[in-house]
Structures are given as C-alpha cells and as structure tokens.
Structure 1
Amino acid sequence: MSATHRHNSRLQNASVTSLRRGPQRRDSGRRSDGSVTSSGRESIGTGLTEPPAYSKKFVVVGDGGCGKTCLLISYSQGIFPEKYVPTVFENYITHCEHKPSGKIVELALWDTAGQEEYDRLRPLSYPETDLLFVCFAIDCPNSLENVMDKWYPEVLHFCPTTPIILLGLKSDLRNKRTCIDLLKTQGLTPVTTHQGQAVAKKMGALYMECSSKEMTGVHEIFDAAINTVVAEAEGMNQSPPASRGSLTAQNSNSQQQQQRRPQTSSKPSENPTPMMAPSKKKKRKACLIL
C-alpha cells in the first residue's frame, strides 16, 4: 500500500468518526485557557469572553478543485493555501459578529469532498445544517453545469428547507489571460456573472462571487449568510419559517411563506420552478487547477 493511499485511508476513517460526532462539534470546544479542542480548527484571535448567542452550521459543496477549501481557510484563518490537497471532510470553527445586533455567532464550517468516490459519505455532513454554500469555479464552466446536474438535486433531497447561496469562486481568474486561452482551446469561456445569476434564479438562491486568493467578496459572503441564519432564528417564534427564496429579500416581512421550498430569485416578484436534474446521467468533468 502506497504512502498516499495510507494517508487517504486515515483521513477517511478519521472523517467518519468526526462526522458521527457532528453535534458535539457545534460547541466551541474551548478550554478554560481559551484554546480549542480537536473538534475543529479554530480561527485565529477570537478571544471570546462570553458564550456566543448562536451556534450555526454551514456546509460547503461543489465539484472537487472548485475552491471550497480555499474559501473556508481564507475566511476562518486569514491565509490562502497555495498547495492543493483534496479534501475528504474537514471542519473549521470560527466566531464572528452579527453586525446588525452585535451578537457573537459561532460558525461550524463543514468542508466536503466533491469527488464521486465520496458520494455515499458526504450525506453524513448534512444533518442540522443551517445554510448551504453550493459552489462552482468561474474558470470551470463544467462545474456550473454540475450544480444543476448534481449538487442542487442532492442538497434539495437531503436539506429541502435549508437556505442556499450559490457561490462563484475564483473570480480573479475570469479576466486572467492564461485561463481565457486555456478554456478557448476547449471551446469554452469563463463563467459570466449573468450565467451564475441565471442558475441561482432557477434554484431560488442568492448568487455571490469571490476570490479567496485576493480576499475580495469573501467577508461579504459570510456576512450575508450570517444575516440570513440569524434573521431566521430570531423570527422562528414570531412567524412561519421563510422560504428558501426569501434569502434575497430577508428584510421584507411580506416574503414569509408557510411552505419552505425554493420559490424566488434575487427578484422577489418572480417565482421560478426549480429545475431538477435530467434523468440521463452525464459524464462529469473535474475542475482544472491553475
């Protein structure tokens, strides 16, 4: 058995154990000296003096190599990982402020494997999810196709009432000449903002973009996600849960609905029907690592 295979086996075994302990991970695991136990990687310099007002779980899904791990590490640890290492499953614990209220929110950020060999393991990460990030790479048009072919149907099956944000990652590569030239040889072009918005509209999800490498748009994404889950938590005892589509209209009380199904896009007045995956299975292509 090769060293790489042994390493992957250990990762997978450890990940299954961690996933089974998922509910405990949502506690901060903070010791009296302020350090954090092995239940998750803690962000740098939290220094909390009081318990968080909310503990929320975000799960990130999408094709392998599309930039999910870089997004989570850049946000939670403030660094960009230059080396690509395929993820099995990983959990990052971080604390942040809900700006409108000033309350502290503890986030459990769950990174998942996009490779097909982990399709049976990945559903273990879905229980008790408060918000889903469905991701694709702007430099990989096939990864956007796979959002509707695979990822949206999967999360709709396991988390039918959970809010979704569709994320276009690696936005810095959209205008990069080497990326454009490489895609051109395949008859492709980088994904446009309009294309991403069109898919989000079909999903009834908010659409956002970012570059983890340049740290542009990263904090805006998590601010929007935190605002969504906190607004939902604070409104649960006052009115029925919001529909997934109200993610983009969370400040409008008129968007509350009895049945939480994907309804609207970034324009609350439009109510598209979610497009489900075609019955014919397509061959999926992996993202390029530039």
Structure 2
Amino acid sequence: MTEASQRPNLRKRSSVFADADYSFTVMLLGDSCTGKTCLLIRFKDGTFLNNNFISTVGIDYRNKLVQIDQSKVKLQIWDTAGQERFRSVTSSYYRDADALLLVFDVTSRQSFENIRSWLSQIKEHAKESVQLTIVGNKSDLSGQRKVKIEEGRQLAASYSIPYIETSAKTGHNVDLAFNDLARRLVSSFTGSKVVMERILLRVLWFTMILKIISISQRHIFLGWVEPFSTIGAILHLLGTLATILCP
C-alpha cells in the first residue's frame, strides 16, 4: 500500500473523532494474562486475538467513539502491562485517568486475590473522582472457573464498585462494560464538554522509547524488556503515533 493511499484513512479517522462531545481517558489494569488486551481489541475491533499476540510492553493505546444517549463520547483507552516490573511505570499515569477497568481472570484465583493490592495502588495514585469497574474476564471458561460470581460481586460491593463479568472470546458484556463506564463518566462530568487530552505525548514517548529499545534487541542489556523485533511491531508503533497525532 502506498503512502498516498493511506492518507485518506487518517483524514477519515480524524473527522470521526472531531465530532466527539466528550473525551475521556480509560486505563485497563490488572495482573498479566487476565485478558486486558483481548478485551480492548474485542471492544475496538470486534475480534478475538486467540493468543496470537505479544504481551503488552509498558503501555499501548487505542481509541473509540461511542454513543451515549445524545452525546458522542471519545474513549482514549490505555492498555497496561500487568507484570510486577512495570507497576511503578503504569502507576505514575493513574492520576491522569478518568476511569479504570480493573480486570482479573475468573480462572485464576491469584489474579482475583491481587485485586485488593491493585485497589490500594489506585487509592494511592489515582484522583478521587476516578470511575472504577471491576471486571471478571474469561467467563466463557465455566469449567475452569476458580472464582465464583458471588465472590466477585461481594468484593466489588465491599469497595462500592460496580462489578461485571465478561468474555473477550465471545464478546459477552464487553461493550456493556465500556459503555456503562462511559455513561457514568458523562453523568459525573462537571467541566467543559471536551476534556483536555493530558497524557498523550507523555505516554507516547514512553511507549516509543521502550519499544524502540526492544526492537533494537537491547533487551539483553536491560534484562526486563521483552524482544519486539518484527516489522509488524514497527508498523504498529507508527500506527499508534498516527492515531494520537490524527485522532
């Protein structure tokens, strides 16, 4: 595909998001392998990755326009790495988030037990007005379930946080989880209609640096950076840049 043939797509994408009445930043949090990236791709593109992807390195980005009653709402959705080594990096962005989806895997007892730890970090770093939803993902794997529905509900209720179970594989409740969050954001918003996009460049540069280091195979020196050496990775990085510069 030529450069010229790609330009109309960028213009079209820009015009779509220019009509947004509201713009909010949403972050996906939770342990690694809970399906955060799959939830995001299911919501954004309506597809399931089925493990054909590389684990999130640092932070990734997508956006989507949703209709909430009479308003068009732009959701800037940040997908964060759940590994412990990235916690100090991702927590620095909590304060800029308008909403957080805290995800655990219903087939992983440990990811559920770690929800309280995540909530402690959120309390420490996020702003008081942040909207929260606890998400029990992989609900389609009923035969492998390690966390009962009622346990998830009880935990969420103890923190006065909404709870929902989803399946990125089947799409069950995925749109509902994001749209409910968007509705609550609109209902609670008291400022000007379009929110300032506060963290785009900061996170963009962090992601670019991290991935370029990976692509150049310097993971051997750094130790904790995973290899990311494909042409597809470079194209994805450029696509992320285009998305942010031409939202």
Q: Give your verdict on TM over 0.5.
A: yes
Paired residue for 2:55? Answer: 86
Q: Deviations over 1:5-50 (max 9, x none)?
A: xxxxxxxxxxxxxxxxxxxxxxxxxx9835179xxxx7xxx97285
Paired residue for 1:215? Answer: 171
| Residues 100-111 of structure 1 aligned to structure 2 (within 5 Å) | 100-101=69-70, 103-111=71-79
User: Taking every aligned residue pair, what percent have the same amino acid on both sides?
Assistant: 26
Task: Answer whether contact 1:59 1:133 (CA < 8 A) is retained.
Answer: yes
| Residues 48-67 of structure 1 aligned to structure 2 (within 5 Å) | 48=16, 50-67=18-35
Describe the shift of the 1:50–1:90 C-alpha distance in structure 2 as closer, same or farther (beyond 3 A): closer
Paired residue for 2:111? Answer: 143
Task: Answer whether contact 2:25 2:76 (CA < 8 A) is retained.
Answer: yes
Cα drift, residue 94 of structure 1: 1.3
Q: Secondary structure at the match of 2:85?
A: helix
Residue 123 (structure 1) aligned with residue 91 (structure 2): yes
| Residues 179-258 of structure 1 aligned to structure 2 (within 5 Å) | 179=144, 190-233=146-189, 235=190
Aligned residue pairs, count: 184
Cα drift, residue 197 of structure 1: 0.5
| Residues 148-167 of structure 1 aligned to structure 2 (within 5 Å) | 148=116, 150-161=117-128, 162-167=130-135
Describe the shift of the 1:168–1:51 C-alpha distance in structure 2 as closer, same or farther (beyond 3 A): same
Aligned counterparts of 2:54 and 2:156: Cα–Cα separation in 1: 28
After superposing on structure 2, the runs of 4+ consecutive aligned residues of structure 1 that deviate more than 3 Å are: 31-34
Aligned counterparts of 1:113 and 1:205: Cα–Cα separation in 2: 22
Q: 1:97 is matched with which residue: 42, 67, 72?
A: 67
Q: Secondary structure at the match of 1:139?
A: coil
Matching residue's letter, 1:207: Y
Higher RCO (CA-CA < 8 Å; seq separation 6+) = 2
After superposition, the CA RMSD in angstroms is: 2.3
TM-score, with length taken from structure 1: 0.59
Residue 33 (structure 1) aligned with residue 3 (structure 2): no
Q: Which residues of structure 1 form unaligned runs of 5+?
A: 1-30, 180-188, 238-290
